[in-house]
Structure 1
Amino acid sequence: MSAVAWIAVGSLAAWVWLLLGQGFFWRTDQRLPRREAPARWPSVAIVVPARDEADMLPVSLPSLLAQDYPGRAEVFLVDDCSKDGTGDVARALSVRFGGLPVTVVSPGEPGPGWTGKLWAVRHGISLARTREPDYLLLTDADIAHEPDSLRELVAAAESGGFDLVSQMARLRVSSLWERLVVPAFVYFFSQLYPFRWVNRAGARTAAAAGGCVLLRTGAAERARVPESIRQAVIDDVSLARAVQRSGGRIWLGLAERVDSVRPYPRLVDLWRMVSRSAYAQLRHSPALLLGTVLGLALVYLVPPVALVTGLLAGDPVAAWAGGLAWAVMSGTYLPMLGHYRQSLWLAPLLPFTAALYLLMTVDSAVQHYRGRGAAWKGRTYARPEAAPDR
């Protein structure tokens, strides 16, 4: 066989393994587990870190204020040195909509060794603990919840005995670039952290989706959250690992009634979202970066290239292996496209989207070595910490 044929067969073998041996990551059936209403509804403190979110809060905050929760719940919004009047907007929305009580605090600039979001979360949790809540709901300022969201999260945690329940919010998919990139973002995340592996008892894989995390207060104290992860740029995965390593049980799945309202209409917006933390995920390791680039190329780029090359060069093995690998790849992407209610004809374009992610990852490394690190909303972490392994 030709060299192209051998590489194509290797790609096909990789896809057979991913299809059957990577926790069925491509399936989208990991939703909130079976749950029943508890005899007593525990108290919940909702902590919302917010930096320059005046545009998002009118859409997201009223959804929290309107939570139909039978127990005691209140909102603690932490204004992280915003310059757009985020705190004032939150106070005005609280007066206008009523509902759950809201406390707005401004802790000032992050202390040494802290990322901005976790510094805000720290102050929110510290204030919330004065009310002695049973649970903490950590949710971002761009996340909108259906009225029963909190009730369903708590019921799932209580029924399943989970210390952490997290849902991957359904991200916005309106623009062309959002349709191409956003479903793939969740697809790649679930490939890296298969939800089934995260959710099984005694699991070694740990992950969470930072936009919606329900956490038992006791589990947060045992895991020393957020102090133990204060430098983490990928704070959701770090949080899940800290809870798991302290003996907590975690659960992660796709959300149906929790949505991100933040728009990413242009490619540059999506590029910035991915590249700011991609190299941190690789622990700033050149070796892991090289392996990732080669792996992405083998798994996602080789199949269409081998198919076209095989057809043009009269190499049936290369064409057959490349075409079959591309077909398997596209088939595994269909459930995620269905979850996002997108055209299934986008599935064959996954190699193109993967090439974009490859370039975003390389750009993340380039920005890191230029000293720009994880830049977000006016802050730059030149050498941020990745999700810790210890």
Structure 2
Amino acid sequence: MSPLAWIAIAALAVWAWLLLGQGFFWRTDQRLPAPVGAPARWPGVVVVVPARDEAEVLPLSLPSLLAQDYPGRAEVILVDDGSSDGTGRLAAELAACHGGLPLTVVSPGEPEPGWTGKLWALRHGMALARTRGPEFLLLTDADIAHEPDSLRLLVEAATGHRLDLVSQMARLRVASGWERLVVPAFVYFFCQLYPFRWINRRRPLATAAAGGCVLLRAETAERAGVPTAIRQAVIDDVSLARAVRRAGGRVWLGLAERVDSIRPYPRLADLWRMVSRSAYAQLRHNPLLLAGTVAGLALVYLAPPGTLVAGLLSGDAAAAWAGGLAWAVMAGTYLPMLRYYRQPPWLAPLLPFTALLYLLMTVDSAVQHYRGRGAAWKGRTYARPEAAPDR
């Protein structure tokens, strides 16, 4: 056989493994565990919302938190992380207008060296929350909107199934053409990297969380030493889940049905910044891991259509057959995620093009890192972890 055919067969073999051996990552049935009955006593909950320059989305997200239909004691703490757009003032105005759960707005000042901004905000919000003596903390981003029963269902899942961390991957906004092309693939790739079924096993094979919606048992957070233990993390949600797991806590992660991200990413440039700011951090700023990732993406996502076309043009039947079958398997595994996002199935064969975009975003993330502009977000740039003081 030709080298082209061997490349196509290798890609097909990888897809056969991904289809059956990677925790059925492509299935979208990992949803919030069904309640086993309401708790005899509803535990106290404090919702902590880190917010930096979020005046654009806050009118849609904060009222949804204040309107939570929760039978127990609950309140909201919004941590204004050095906003320049009046985020804290707007939050107070929204609370006065909408009512609902009590709201406290605090501002911790600029982060100390060795802290990322979000975790610095969470540190102060969680410290204030602990003075209220809650049993659970809901850590949720300022761009996340919750249905009125969201908190109640999260607490029911945590108490009924004895979970220490319950996280839902919020349904991201899909409205513009670029969002339709890129956003479902973002979640698909995340599930491939961290198969939810592996995370949710009693003996887990992977650990991760989605930072937009995390219900955390307060006692477990204390035992895990968070957020101080992960203060340098750029990818804070995965680091949080791993800290909880190391402390002996049980972690659950699934796709959301009642939790939505309302942040718009209408242009490719917006999505590019969202991915590239942390992609190289995911690879631990390691050039060898970057090279391996680029090669892997090329083999898994670009080789199937490439070998199909090249095989048809050159008359290499083996290459065309194997490449076409690998592409078909790839598209088939993407269909459930497209259905979850209510997108047309004809987007599935375009996954190789989207993967090429993610490959370029990852390379750009590394380039920006070595130019000193890596992990930049809302006016802040974070050093690689080993460059931050450990104290």
Inter-partner Cα distance in structure 1 for 2:310 and 2:116:
47
Match of 1:5 in 2: 5
Contact 1:65 1:101 in 2 (8 A): yes
Contact 1:283 1:385 in 2 (8 A): no
User: What SS is found at the alignment partner of 1:147?
Assistant: coil
Cα offsets for 1:263-321 (capped at 9, x unmatched): 00000000000000000000000000000000000000000000000000000000000
Inter-partner Cα distance in structure 2 for 1:188 and 1:290:
18
Match of 2:158 in 1: 157
Shift of 1:380: 0.7
Match of 2:344 in 1: 343
Contact 1:233 1:385 in 2 (8 A): no
Contact 1:184 1:350 in 2 (8 A): yes
For 1:195, the aligned partner's letter is: F
User: What SS is found at the alignment partner of 1:301?
Assistant: helix
Match of 1:26 in 2: 26
For 2:314, the aligned partner's letter is: A
For 1:325, the aligned partner's letter is: A
Question: Residues 221-236 of structure 1 correspond to what in structure 2 (within 5 A)?
Answer: 221-236=222-237
Match of 2:123 in 1: 122
Inter-partner Cα distance in structure 2 for 1:318 and 1:27:
29
Shift of 1:332: 0.1
For 1:12, the aligned partner's letter is: L
Match of 2:219 in 1: 218
Match of 2:15 in 1: 15
Is 1:371 aligned to residue 368 of structure 2? Answer: no
Inter-partner Cα distance in structure 2 for 1:184 and 1:207:
18
For 1:262, the aligned partner's letter is: R
For 1:155, the aligned partner's letter is: E
Match of 1:73 in 2: 74
Inter-partner Cα distance in structure 2 for 1:380 and 1:248:
32
TM-score by length of 2: 0.98
Match of 1:286 in 2: 287
Match of 2:248 in 1: 247
Inter-partner Cα distance in structure 1 for 2:308 and 2:113:
53
TM-score by length of 1: 0.98
What is the percent sequence identity of the aligned residues?
79
Shift of 1:112: 1.3
Contact 1:65 1:94 in 2 (8 A): yes
Inter-partner Cα distance in structure 2 for 1:342 and 1:202:
34
User: What SS is found at the alignment partner of 2:208?
Assistant: coil
Inter-partner Cα distance in structure 2 for 1:327 and 1:161:
40
Is 1:189 aligned to residue 190 of structure 2? Answer: yes
Inter-partner Cα distance in structure 2 for 1:149 and 1:376:
28
For 2:135, the aligned partner's letter is: D
Cα offsets for 1:20-60 (capped at 9, x unmatched): 00000000000011212111110000000000001110000
Cα offsets for 1:243-263 (capped at 9, x unmatched): 001100000000011000000
Match of 2:38 in 1: 37
Contact 1:38 1:159 in 2 (8 A): yes
Match of 1:62 in 2: 63
Inter-partner Cα distance in structure 2 for 1:112 and 1:11:
45
Shift of 1:385: 6.4
Match of 1:107 in 2: 108
Shift of 1:125: 0.2
User: What SS is found at the alignment partner of 1:151?
Assistant: helix
Shift of 1:204: 3.7
For 1:26, the aligned partner's letter is: W
Shift of 1:198: 0.3
User: What SS is found at the alignment partner of 2:276?
Assistant: helix
For 1:213, the aligned partner's letter is: V
User: What SS is found at the alignment partner of 1:255?
Assistant: strand
Cα offsets for 1:97-131 (capped at 9, x unmatched): 00000000000000110000000000000000000
Question: Residues 167-178 of structure 1 correspond to what in structure 2 (within 5 A)?
Answer: 167-178=168-179
User: What SS is found at the alignment partner of 2:28?
Assistant: coil
Shift of 1:382: 3.2
Inter-partner Cα distance in structure 2 for 1:295 and 1:374:
23
Match of 2:99 in 1: 98
Q: CA 1:12–1:266 in structure 2 vs 1: closer, same or farther (change >3 Å)?
A: same
Contact 1:280 1:385 in 2 (8 A): no
Contact 1:42 1:72 in 2 (8 A): yes
Inter-partner Cα distance in structure 2 for 1:208 and 1:373:
23
Inter-partner Cα distance in structure 1 for 2:55 and 2:48:
17
Match of 1:238 in 2: 239
For 1:176, the aligned partner's letter is: G
- Structure 1's unaligned 5+ residue stretches are none
For 1:74, the aligned partner's letter is: E
Inter-partner Cα distance in structure 1 for 2:240 and 2:383:
21
Inter-partner Cα distance in structure 1 for 2:345 and 2:212:
27
Match of 2:305 in 1: 304
Is 1:140 aligned to residue 141 of structure 2? Answer: yes
- Structure 2's unaligned 5+ residue stretches are none
For 1:10, the aligned partner's letter is: A
Question: Residues 320-331 of structure 1 correspond to what in structure 2 (within 5 A)?
Answer: 320-331=321-332
User: What SS is found at the alignment partner of 2:24?
Assistant: coil
User: What SS is found at the alignment partner of 1:34?
Assistant: coil
